[in-house]
Amino acid sequence: MKRIVLIFLLFAAPVYASLDSVRQNFVSYYSAAGADRDAGRMRAALAALETSARTYSAPGYLLSDGSWSDINYSDTPTGSWSPWDHFRRLTVMAKAYRTPGQPLYGDPQLRASIESALSYVPTFYGPLTPPLGNWWFWTIGAALDLGPTLVLMRGDIDQAVYDDCVRTLSVHIGTSPTARGLVGPVPVGENLVWSSHTHLCLALLRDDAVLLTQVREAMASVCTTTVGDGIQSDRSFHQHGPQLYTGGYGGSFANDVARYALLTRGTEFALPAEVLSNFADYLADGIAWSLYGNYFDVSVVGREVARVSTTGYNGVAALVQASQLSSPRESEIRAATAQMLRSWQWTLPPELAALAVDAETMTVSPAWPAGHQHYYDSDYTVHRRPGWFASIKMFSARTKSGERTNDENMLGSRQSDGRFYLVLDGDEYFGSNVWPAFDWTRLPGITVEQKADAANDTYGFGMRTLVGGTGDGRNGVSAMDYAPLNSSLTAKKSWFFFDDTIVFLTNSITCPSGNRVETVVDQRPSWATPIHYWFYGHSPHVEQITRTGTWAALGGSTDSAPHTATFQTIWFDHGTNPVGDHVEYAISPDPLVFPPMIVANDATASAVRAGNMLGIVFWKPGRVEGIQSDAPAVVYLTDRDIYVADPTNGVGTFTVTVGARTLTVPRNGGRTFHAALGGRRRAAR
């Protein structure tokens, strides 16, 4: 028996040493251990932490029973939940208690306030029957803050209070990261990452190495590419089905996975190297490509566009944390981190401020990604250059147009209808509080049937399969066979990206409903940096329009205060009952002296030439400028190379003929096929 016990102890010792290392990493992370307290970011972070903790612990605000005077503890969870603030305030107070460099570090009065507030937790969070409404707060949201508070305060609060809160936490989150909590579905995607973090805390609270191993396995599984919720093969992110969420759930995912990697590095609970490498690819090719300035692209935040709080916070948090990790993409991640920190205008919490200070001392040239990328799993295209960012958001029979969960995004039904997003400064829209005043029936880039419910909460899968794009990493072509939901309109829309110019072609515009149809060129805040337009033969309407709206009307907010903004609005009027109408124009941040030449724009093909570059969309088999395809295709050519993709995202092959050469193109789920043409190609005339 003694020999068995000895063997067990010898085996267990390294495991528990690793668990203790994770615990030490955890406390060091949240207390910004080792950070330069004199750095500007740290001074601001510590001052903000102290101010918040003092506010939360003030007598009369924090009542004698441990509750807060302004929290409605009987509130039903919906898109928000008042008692969540109880847990979030506790986390701030616990960090202030543990963080050196400000007066509340180790403060006995603050400790007593924390203990009092923790003692009240089982009173409203302990019942086994959750309130009606949104399950997320009950199973995940509250636990994400209660867990870290308990880890930080372990050993410094009354044991009975500690034990009671740990029991309460464990009941609500379940026995493992992949099991159901008290309520809610089996977690996937970012929900699984959140569940992993709550169980990481539970493992540290219970000294449970087996549970922490399960956490590691769950985190590793969710960092691999999937066809479900999570990282897609093109490095975009889906949640709630095939719905683009790189800057919403996917941004939170990136933040949380990077934090886990820091908390566990150097231990047996760390993510394997190949998992970290895949995660780094997602950061470099997904997160960084979707960020510009202080914000995510509006097209990747989903219903969060309806939240006044939406910024690029999760993006900067993910980048500053990942900048500390070694990976094959570390130079790109660090360059994007340094660039984003140049403009980040808000005070970071101490744990992130410490990492930001370190990131700013790295020898790297700050830079955003630049080039062109089409995300074939998400019907999304990004074209960016130093100084500006542009994207196109589409949807097909393979992807969902959006969602209105928790009554958010009540007017966003047109956001996947070929929406064009262009920012130069980065804060033209999000940073100016203009979304409430925005005309959601006139999103830039869309063709729309104007009617009373043109902008509403109708979402779902698209009705057409021909949606896709291709390119060489610098320029490219995208296309959408257009049949928007809740509309009788149909059209064929294509986009041609040539360096600093984007050409927009739409043809076959048909709508038998009797409603007026418009193609919206732009709707920009009137004060924003001007951009340049070129109109091929048609003259649009141009008008300065002042509008007023509220955040409450967008959903997800009770803010009914009016917000007014003036927009330069440009649109083409196709009249009522158009049949086969078309429109062509180009947009550039720079003056268009010699705009690209339109080669074709009809129901067979749309094509544009710019110098030695040629973009073609074959809507059906056809021939353009000596290039022939026997199937729908998107094609981009230079003098020496051809790039082709199947916009139907299918399997098998099709053929594209260039002069005397016939290429067999694998459909390959919409991925780009590249072939060298073997010399300078002469365009057919």
pLDDT at 593: 84
pLDDT at 128: 78
Mind listing the pLDDT tens digit for each residue in 558-583?
899 999 999 999 999 999 999 999 99
Q: Which range has the worst mean pLDDT, 30-34, 78-82, 465-469?
A: 78-82
Percent of the residues in the chain that have a pLDDT greater than 70, as a whole number: 97
Q: How far apart are CA 220 and CA 43, in angstroms?
A: 36
Angle at 270 between CA 265 and CA 276, to 5 degrees: 95
Q: What is the mean pLDDT of residues 55-61?
A: 98
Angle at 218 between CA 78 and CA 282, to 5 degrees: 85
Q: What is the mean pLDDT of residues 596-618?
A: 98
- CA 606 from chain centre, in angstroms, equals 31
With 0-12 / 13-18 / 19 or more C-beta atoms within 10 angstroms meaning exposed / middle / buried, residue 41 is buried
pLDDT at 492: 98
Is residue 471 helix, strand or coil? strand
Is residue 215 helix, strand or coil? helix
pLDDT of 679 higher than 90: no
Q: Of 228, 145, 225, whose CA–CA distance to 186 is shortest?
A: 228
Domains of the chain: 21-222 (1.50.10.100), 225-369 (1.50.10.100), 371-676 (2.70.98.10)
Counted residue by residue, the chain has a size of: 685
pLDDT at 519: 98
Q: What is the mean pLDDT of residues 491-504?
A: 98
Q: What is the mean pLDDT of residues 503-508?
A: 98
pTM over 0.85: yes
Question: Do 147 and 211 meet the contact criterion of CB atoms below 8 Å apart?
Answer: no
Percent of the residues in the chain that have a pLDDT greater than 90, as a whole number: 91
Please count the helices (runs of H) and the strands (runs of E) in the chain. 16, 28
Is residue 378 helix, strand or coil? coil
pLDDT at 8: 43
Q: What is the mean pLDDT of residues 347-351?
A: 98
Q: Which residue has the tokens 């919720």?
A: 229
Q: What is the mean pLDDT of residues 466-493?
A: 98
Give the tokens for residue 38.
């004199």
Q: What is the mean pLDDT of the chain?
A: 95
Return the higher-pLDDT residue of 243 and 129.
243
pLDDT at 15: 67
pLDDT of 78 higher than 90: no
Q: How far apart are CA 11 and CA 17, in angstroms?
A: 11
- In this structure, what DSSP letter does residue 591 have? -
With 0-12 / 13-18 / 19 or more C-beta atoms within 10 angstroms meaning exposed / middle / buried, residue 228 is exposed
Give the tokens for residue 272.
């394997």
Please, how many CA atoms are within 13 Å of residue 488, restricted to the half-sphere of its CB? 12
Mind listing the pLDDT tens digit for each residue in 306-329?
999 999 999 999 999 999 999 999
pLDDT at 333: 98
pLDDT at 682: 41
Mind listing the pLDDT tens digit for each residue in 197-219?
999 999 999 999 999 999 999 99
308-338: burial string, b at 16+ Cβ within 10 Å, e else: eebbbbbbbbbbbbbbbbebebbebbbbbbb
Question: Do 591 and 561 meet the contact criterion of CB atoms below 8 Å apart?
Answer: no
pLDDT of 58 higher than 70: yes
Q: What is the mean pLDDT of residues 422-426?
A: 96
Distances in Å between the Cα of 587 and the Cα atoms of 250, 296, 389, 532 are 30, 21, 13, 6
Q: What is the mean pLDDT of residues 533-538?
A: 93
With 0-12 / 13-18 / 19 or more C-beta atoms within 10 angstroms meaning exposed / middle / buried, residue 124 is middle
HEC letters along 98-152? HCCCCCCCCCHHHHHHHHHHHHHHHHHHCCCCCCCCCHHHHHHHHHHHHHHHHHH
Residues 6+ apart with CB under 8 A from 96: 49, 50, 52, 53, 102, 104, 105, 107, 110
Question: Do 247 and 296 meet the contact criterion of CB atoms below 8 Å apart?
Answer: yes
89-123: burial string, b at 16+ Cβ within 10 Å, e else: bbbbbbbbbbbebbebeebeebbebbbbbbbbbee
